[in-house]
A and B are shown apart, each in its own frame.
Chain A
Amino acid sequence: MSWLTRLNRGETRIDFIKWWRRGLILSAVLIVISLGSLFTRGLNLGIDFKGGVSYEVSMSNPSVSAARTALDGVGEGQAKIQIVGTDILRVQTAESTPEHTAEVRQTLGQVAGTDASNVSVSSVGASWGGDITRSAIRALIFFFIAILIYLSIRLELRMAIAAIVAVLHDVLISVGVYSVFQFEVTPGTVIAFLTILGYSIYDTIVVDDKIKENERLVGLSGRMTYSQMTSLSMNQVLLRSLNTTVVSLLPVISLLVVGAGIMGAVTLEEFSIALTVGLTVGAYSSIFVAAPVLVFLKERQAKFRAIRERLASQGVAVDRPAPVPSASDEDTPDAANAATEVSSARTATGVIPPRPRKKTRKR
């Protein structure tokens, strides 16, 4: 079977236990870089957080130097001037009086060769940004608590904890990316980050559901440790996770490339960069962060530790993908045979009627 077919059937044989170690190293490196950048360079905060006045006007051949010369005349030579997209001139200054703002607006209108009323102005008092930040952080904390409770009820506490760790990881790295590349942080960015939280939890739930389904494999004949079962589950759920990611990413990438890149809508750019980064990291973290953290927590549980020790003493290789009974061969599990053919662990075949147990558990 080609690799693609195996992926399609959920029968890939990737050794996730090995890859988790590599993944965790990668994550650790990324987090260190993010934290480092945050503490040294900090974030490039937009005026909504710092306070100030921002002007935007669309102009056929935007020129920073022409704008600067004109602004010099009104005492704003030090303003931050940028060209966004292909034809939008954006100027940011410190807070100013309404009269001065009107003056700058007039000047920019002249530079752009249009009426002052076509210049968009946004002026923000410094405390507004503080309000937004505070409310966003508050929402974040409540969100974590609510999700912790919800997931603990529907799945289990350790899975909830692992999910939250994955989400924190995502947020940290996404913020780090913004710091490293000095993208501007606006309320749009905050919205995007909060979306990422939701998405990351979604992906983690998809993966956790599969793990829960397979959990009985660890207890039943005690054939594999929790880690091995999780690795197996990852293989089975890989395509599902990949597809949900692709399907979520495509619209967002379109927003970025078409909306912001080709059509030059600036606000879209703010959202879509954060969303793209966050969704990608979110997909990665469900498999490479949430799962290993869960495994770490579970293997500490007495029950699973006992199974692991027992299997190790029996000579089964506990740190590599486990052999699994093949689907059609329920009565005579054959470790040697199964080692060459890892198929789905579920044994719903002709000899066994649908498992009612699974239904009641899910409900």
Chain B
Amino acid sequence: MRRLRGYGSLVAVVVIAAGALLYTLVAGNKPLLGLDLQGGVSVVLKPKEAVDNATIDQAIAIIRQRIDALGVAEPEITRQGDNILIQIPGVKDKDRALDLVGQTAEMQFRPVLANIAVDPTATTTTTTTAAPTDQTTIAGETTTTTVASTTTTTAALVGGLPEGVCRTGLDAEQINKDGQAILPQCKSGVLVASYSVGPTALTGSSLDTARATLGDNGWTVNPVFKDGADGIGAFNSVAATCYAKATTCPTGQLAIVLDGRVLSAPMINQASFQADLIEISGNFTEREAKDLATALKYGALPVEFEMQQAQIVSATLGRDALHAGLIAGLVGLIAVALYMIAFYRVLGGLAVLKLAIEGALLWSVISWLGTNNGLALTLAGITGIIVSIGVSLDSNVVYYEHLKEDIVNGRSIRSATDHSFVSAFSTIVKADVASLIGAALLWWLTVGPVRGFAFYLGLSTALDLLTSWAYMRPVVRLATRSRLVGRSSLLGLPPEKVQERSRRERSTEGASR
């Protein structure tokens, strides 16, 4: 039993590595490729003025909503200091994504001049957008506009709205905030109504907050305006004109517009309102009510951003970069493996095995993080991993050289294995910790691709520490005590000095174990 002590960690680490790899394969985990390897869009937005954390978080939530509307899976939106980094890998319509992200939307309240019915029988002659899968009738707000009928294709509209307008949106000129415009109302990317609206009467900045509440008659939305002339005062003045069905507001409806789309166009039923007693009702489902409340609450981006950096990476270039990185890594790996084996023979082979174990663990961690945490592997990350091949083998070199030195000084191979590990490991720990400090600082203090690199370097260094202790010591011991390969020539070690050796064995046999 004594002979097996110390090999426990070796078995454990090999089992864990193999198990992790197996799990990764079975679970279908794969690393998430970063933008520069997959292609996509990346944008850095910087607020034009100083803002607090809550504002930035709000902005992130809104941007996320917008990007979700694009239908891309998992955009990555993160904060870096005061900047917002948005990465949308794999998006097909890159220019649109870029546009969408940067827009500072404004929420506008505009009087409705006319409702334009959608003609379901009119069809387009060119390609249409894909139909939504749910085709239920959407009950409109009965107190407000005309009921929208279902449409399964985009219909050519009276009023000249471009095709596929719910997908592409309108530009600032078409939205025409200070004049008249024709704006669509979209539900789930499908056009349900369009309105001719007048100039903007007030904006989202007049709103304080909004709620969705469940009352006796179903779900309603309660916007709360701010006090004062800019808030409830402005609302009341436009409400008055609409209630009276004045020429500026002949339909009596007030459209709530965001990003050039009409969210809702309720009829005004009173001449004036109190700030917190406004209710928008209709046959809202819970989802619709909550969505509208959220839009009212967060609708406009709370602060204006400027685009600091924008990148559109084409998928082909990304793929090429990935291939090159992988092949270069492989070639480097082979070159360095050959070198180690040539120099250290069997011990060199064991060093390469250590790399394999670290590789398995690294791959599993990256795949798991990629699938579950959205951590992306970029080219910088791949470089970090390739550099860590050197880090791992360095630990082996330090140990083996120590071994050689001890043997040249007269120790037997067996006693040298344990003795030199102690001082070699001390060196390895010092150096790896220094690396880890560097990686941690880099990660904490920098922005952009440097962070990815720091993470992967730090991860590989930590794995190196683990495997040096758990794998390298027991496996070398195994090798030196093995009858098969325990000879110095096979191990790449200098020959033992025989006379000293026997003297040494006799006097220190007990101590060396």
User: A residues within 8 Å of B by Cβ?
Assistant: 8-11, 48, 56-58, 88, 98, 102, 117-125, 127-128, 131-132, 135-136, 138-139, 142-143, 146-147, 150-151, 154-155, 187-188, 190-192, 194-195, 197-199, 201-202, 205-206, 209, 213, 236-237, 239-240, 243-244, 246-255, 258-260, 263-268, 271-272, 275, 327-328, 344, 346-351, 353-354, 358-359, 362-363
> Is B434's CB under 8 angstroms from A124's CB?
no
A11 surroundings in chain B (CB, below 8 A): 408
Give the residues in chain A near B431, CB-CB below 8 Å.
201-202, 205-206
Are B311 and A122 within 8 A (Cβ)?
yes
Query: Is A348 touching B410 in the complex (CB atoms < 8 A)?
Result: yes
Complex: A243 Cα to B395 Cα, angstroms: 11
Instruction: Using known A-B contacts A147-B434, A150-B434, A244-B394, determine if residue A263 contacts B320 with beta carbons closer than 8 Å.
Output: yes
* Min distance, Cβ B453 to any Cβ of chain A, angstroms: 5
The interface-forming segment of B9-17, B243-251, B380-388 is B380-388
A349-B500 in contact (CB<8A): yes
Contact (A258, B430) CB under 8 Å given A119-B314, A121-B312, A132-B447:
no
Q: A362–B321 contact, CB under 8 A?
A: no
Q: A341 to B307, alpha carbons, bound, how many Å? A: 70
Identity of the chain B residue whose Cβ is nearest the Cβ of A125 in the assembled complex: B308
Q: Report chain A residues within 8 Å CB of B419.
A: 354
Whether the Cβ atoms of A128 and B394 lie closer than 8 Å is no
| Given pairs A188-B383, A202-B434, A328-B500, 17 additional interface contacts (CB within 8 A) | A9-B408, A118-B316, A120-B317, A123-B310, A123-B311, A127-B46, A139-B442, A155-B430, A205-B430, A251-B333, A251-B386, A254-B328, A258-B327, A267-B379, A268-B321, A327-B409, A350-B500
Take A251-B336, A255-B332, A328-B410 as given contacts and tell me if A268 and B325 are in contact as well, using a CB distance cutoff of 8 Å: yes
Question: Once the chains are docked, how many angstroms separate the CA of A147 from the CA of B397?
Answer: 23
B329 at the binding interface (Cβ < 8 Å): yes
Across the interface, B387 reaches (CB within 8 A) one of A251, A263, A347, namely A251
Partner of A187, one of B438, B450, B500: B450
Chain A residue with the shortest CB-CB distance to B388: A251
Contact between A139 and B309 (Cβ–Cβ < 8 Å)?
no
Chain A interface, >50% SS class: helix
Tell me if B309 and A123 are in contact (CB < 8 A): yes
Which residues of chain B are within 8 angstroms of A147 by Cβ–Cβ distance?
Answer: 434, 437-438
B44→A128 contact, CB < 8 A = yes
Q: Are A254 and B435 in contact (CB under 8 A)?
A: no
Which of B335, B401, B404, B409 interacts with A250 by CB under 8 Å? B335
B277 within 8 A of A: no
A114 to chain B, nearest CB (A): 9
A247 touches B310 (CB 8 A): no
Q: How far is the CA of A259 from the CA of B324 in the complex (A)?
A: 5
A187 in contact with B448 (CB, 8 Å): yes
Interface residue B340 (Cβ < 8 Å from any Cβ of A): yes
Q: Does B406 contact A (CB under 8 A)?
A: yes
Q: Contact at A9–B511, with CB atoms within 8 Å?
A: no
Chain A residues with CB under 8 Å of B308's CB are 124-125, 127-128, 131
B389 within 8 A of A: yes
Is A267 touching B321 in the complex (CB atoms < 8 A)?
yes
A197 to B439, CA, bound (A): 11
Closest 10 CB pairs of A and B: A254-B332, A259-B328, A248-B390, A265-B324, A251-B332, A350-B503, A263-B324, A240-B401, A139-B445, A258-B328
* Shortest CB distance A96–B (Å): 12
Residues of B within 8 A of A139 (CB): 441-442, 445-446
Instruction: List chain A residues, Cβ under 8 A from B173.
Output: none
Q: Are A121 and B404 in touch, CB under 8 angstroms?
A: no
Give the residue name and chain of the B residue nearest to A123 (CB).
Answer: B310
Chain A residues closer than 8 Å to B449, beta-carbon distance: 187-188, 191
C-alpha gap A198/B442 in the complex (Å) = 11
Residues in A with CB closer than 8 Å to B427 are 205-206, 209
Q: Once the chains are docked, how many angstroms separate the CA of A9 from the CA of B309?
A: 55
Closest-CB distance, B505 to chain A (whole angstroms) = 9
Instruction: Give chain B nearest CB distance to A12 CB in angstroms.
Output: 13
Is B343 close to A, CB under 8 A? yes
- Measured between alpha carbons, how far is A251 from B422 in the docked complex, in Å? 28
- Could you tell me if B390 and A252 are in contact, using CB atoms closer than 8 angstroms? yes
Given the complex of chains A and B, what is the CA–CA distance between A205 and B511 in angstroms?
29
Query: Which residues of B sit under 8 angstroms from A58, Cβ to Cβ?
Result: 316-317, 320
Closest-CB distance, B43 to chain A (whole angstroms) = 10
- CA of A203 to CA of B446 in the docked complex: distance in angstroms? 25
Whether the Cβ atoms of B438 and A327 lie closer than 8 Å is: no
Give me 24 A-to-B residue pairs in the complex whose CB atoms sit less than 8 angstroms apart, sorted by A's number: A48-B309, A98-B99, A119-B314, A120-B313, A131-B447, A139-B441, A151-B434, A155-B430, A198-B434, A201-B431, A209-B426, A240-B398, A247-B340, A250-B339, A251-B336, A251-B387, A254-B335, A255-B383, A258-B327, A265-B323, A265-B379, A268-B379, A344-B408, A353-B508
Q: Judge whether B310 and A327 touch: CB under 8 Å.
A: no
- Tell me if A346 and B409 are in contact (CB < 8 A): yes
- A281, chain B: closest CB distance, angstroms: 15
Bound-state CA distance A334–B433 (Å) is 42
Report whether B310 and A121 are in contact in the complex, using a CB–CB cutoff of 8 Å: yes
Cβ of B306 under 8 Å from chain A = yes
Question: B140 on the interface (CB 8 Å rule)?
Answer: no
B117 at interface, CB cutoff 8 A: no
Contact (A265, B447) CB under 8 Å given A9-B404, A191-B383, A247-B393: no
- Cβ contact within 8 Å between B445 and A142: yes
Q: Which residues of A contact B426 (CB under 8 A)?
A: 209, 362-363
Chain B residues closer than 8 Å to A358, beta-carbon distance: 423
Indicate whether B494 reaches chain A with its CB closer than 8 angstroms: yes
CB neighbours (8 Å) of B404 from chain A are 8-10
Cβ–Cβ contact B94 & A117, under 8 A: yes
User: Closest residue of chain A to B415, judged by CB?
Assistant: A354
Contacts of A155 in B (CB 8 A): 430
Chain B proximity of A263: nearest CB distance (Å):
4
Could you tell me the distance between the alpha carbons of A150 and B340 in the complex, rounded to whole angstroms?
A: 31
Q: Please indicate the chain A residues that have their CB under 8 angstroms from the CB of B320 in the complex.
A: 58, 263-265
Tell me which residues across on chain B come within 8 A of A138, comparing CB atoms.
Answer: 445
The 8 A CB mask of B173-200 against A (1 = contact, 0 = none) is 0000000000000000000000000000
- Residues in chain B near residue A213, CB distance under 8 A: 423
Within 8 A of A (CB), among B461-513: 494, 499-500, 503-504, 507-508, 511-512
Give, as a whole number of angstroms, the nearest-CB distance from B425 to chain A.
9
Chain B stretch 91-146: residues in CB contact (< 8 A) with chain A: 94-95, 98-99
The answer to the question of B358 belonging to the interface, with a C-beta cut-off of 8 Å to chain A, is no
Point out the residues of chain A lying under 8 angstroms from B328, CB to CB: 254-255, 258-260, 263, 265, 268
Closest Cβ of chain B to A30, distance in Å, is: 24
B314 touches A350 (CB 8 A): no
Chain A residue with Cβ nearest B306: A125
Closest to B402 in A: A240
B453 to A, closest residue via Cβ: A191
Question: A121-B310, A139-B445 given as contacts; is B438 within 8 A of A197 (CB)?
Answer: yes
* Shortest Cβ distance from residue B279 to the other chain A in the assembled complex, whole angstroms: 41
Report the separation of the CA atoms of residues A359 and B94 in the bound assembly, to the nearest whole angstrom.
61
Measured CA separation A151–B429 after assembly (Å):
12
Contacts of B393 in A (CB 8 A): 247-248
By a CB distance below 8 angstroms, the chain B residues around A258 are 324, 327-328, 331-332
Q: A117-B94, A187-B449, A191-B450 are in contact. Are A349 and B410 (CB under 8 A)?
A: yes
Closest to A137 in B: B445
With A202-B394, A252-B386 known as contacts, the answer to whether A267 contacts B36 (CB < 8 A) is yes
Q: B261 at interface (Cβ–Cβ under 8 A)?
A: no
Compute how far the CA of A209 lies from the CA of B419 in the bound complex, rounded to whole angstroms: 16
In the complex the two chains form, is B445's CB within 8 Å of A135's CB?
Answer: yes
CA distance A174 to B1 in the complex (A): 55
